[in-house]
Structures are given as C-alpha cells and as structure tokens.
Amino acid sequence: MIPAGEQEKIEQARRIVQSAAYLVAFTGAGISTPSGIPDFRSKGTGLWERYDPMEVASLTTFRTAPARFWDWKRTLMRQVWQSQPNPAHYALAKLESQARLKAVITQNIDGLHQRAGSQTVLELHGTIETMTCPSCRRQAPSSQYRALIESGDEMPRCKTCGAVMKPDVVLFEESLPPRTWRAAEKHCASADVILVVGSSLEVWPAATLPEFAVSNGARLIIANLSPTFLDGRAEVLLPYNVAETLPLLAGL
C-alpha cells in the first residue's frame, strides 16, 4: 500500500518520467517478487538465507558437483515458469511503447520483461530461457527440458554428446557478457533519467551502471523497498510495492 500523503512523491516521479527524453530502467529481483519469484537478500525469504551462493551458484559447483547445482537451479526455474509478469513489468513495456523508455537493463534471468512486451532488454546476468552444452557448445531452448526439470530430479543432458547442460546464466566466477555490458554503458551514458526498480544495488559490477548514469547528469528515481547506496543522490525515493507504483508512473 502506498501511504496516504505520499501521492506528491508519486506525482513528482511521474512528471520526471513523462518528461524524460532518454529514460533507462535498471531492474533487479524486487520487480519480480510480486510475481512470486523470491529475491536473494530479503530477510526471511531471500534465496541466500537458504543457500550459500558459492556452494550452489558458482561455476566451480556446476563443474564439480552438477547435481548439487541442479538441485538449486531446478527449483528456481520451476518458480519462474509458473510465474507471470506483474503490473510493474507491464508498466515498463508501456513506457517503451510510448517511446519514452529506451532500454531495460536487468539483473534478472527470468525473462518476465520480454513476456510483458518489452523489446530492448539487456540481461546482464543472462537468462534461463536457453541452455548451452559446456562440452560441444550445442545451445537449446530450456523449454526442451521443461518436462524433465519439472517432473523429477534428473539433470538435463545434451542431446548430442550427453554432457550436463548449463543454463545461460552468469554464475559466480564468470564474467558478464561484454557486448551486453557495452550496450548498457552506452544507454546509461545517454540517459537523462535513470529509474532503478527493485534493486538493492549490492551486486557488482552491475550496480555501478546507475551511478555511472547519474555521474553523467541523469536524474535518478529509486523504487525499492530497502535503502541503497545511491539514495542520497536520488531525486525521488519510492519505497513501496513496485507493482503499485510503476503503473502510476506510466499513466496506467
């Protein structure tokens, strides 16, 4: 719920968004929590309270203990496949259709932005929508393995060579995709407004992008439930449910 008396903040943010010449959105796990996908750091529900990230989400674990990796990953993939975009995702797609939003830069791997209709989505941490064989490099849609992943504990294997498939996500110990990173930097350099949605800005180097945009003169709006290191540089802070606030900014 947006507290009574906070409507002026919403209106101020809406004016900034609607007057932007080059609006860029930077999104994190918090935009997808209203869709039922848990984030990583929220107290009581965050994935990292139940798992040690270096034990389940690292390249080393995938290579040396793939069954342990897949015990974790299949749970997340099942949750994503059962989820739908929420009003925050649709609001960003609407802003893009209005020719205001130039790009969504996301830390998320769930594909919900695209399912909501967003066209220009830069996935800094990859996607679960495809998988690649680390042995023969065969790539395949994850949907080919959906029934296997949803029905049991078997690991998906390459249909060509039999090796365990790896989702096309960036794991700990892996670098971000260079082409995607360069495109994100270019958008942030051009932005006159940067809208941070559902990110605690604690994951590096991704979190440097909004700071880069602000240092290049962009106005900053942060829609996130918890504080971030950039709060002091934001023009508007919206610590409310993003599924309620973003549609208001998009005029929905």
Q: What is the tens place of the pLDDT at every residue in 197-251?
A: 999 999 999 999 999 999 999 999 999 999 999 999 999 999 999 999 999 999 8
| List of residues 6+ apart from 83 with CB closer than 8 A | 32, 35, 36, 37, 110, 112
Average pLDDT over residues 172-193: 97
Q: Do 90 and 209 fall within a single domain?
A: yes
Arithmetic mean of pLDDT, 38-43 = 58
**Model confidence at 74: pLDDT above 80:** yes
195 and 154 within one domain = no
Residues 112 and 155 in one domain: no
Residue pLDDT, tens place only, 41-71: 445 444 545 556 657 889 999 999 999 999 8
10 Å Cβ neighbour count for 116? 22
Per-residue model confidence (pLDDT) at position 45? 44
Are residues 78 and 134 part of one domain? yes
Cα angle at 73 between 68 and 77, to 5 degrees? 155
Q: Say if CB 2 and CB 240 are below 8 A apart.
A: yes
Mark whether 23 and 95 lie in a shared domain: yes
Q: How confident is the model at residue 20 (pLDDT cuts 50, 70, 90)?
A: very high
- Say which CATH number the domain at 211 has: 3.40.50.1220
132 and 104 inside one domain: no
Give me the domain span that covers residue 220: 1-36+85-125+176-252
Give the number of domains in the chain.
2
Q: Is 229 helix (H, G, I), strand (E, B) or coil?
A: coil
Residues near 97 by Cβ (< 8 Å), separated by ≥ 6?
117
Q: What is the pLDDT of residue 72?
A: 87
Domain boundary at 135, 151, 169, which?
169
**Per-residue pLDDT at 101:** 98
Paired residues of 141 in beta bridges: 130
CB neighbours of 14 closer than 8 A, spacing ≥ 6?
248, 249, 251
Enzyme catalytic residues: 125
pLDDT, tens only, 114-173 = 999 999 999 999 999 999 999 999 999 999 999 999 888 899 999 999 999 999 999 999
The two tokens of residue 154 are 């078997």
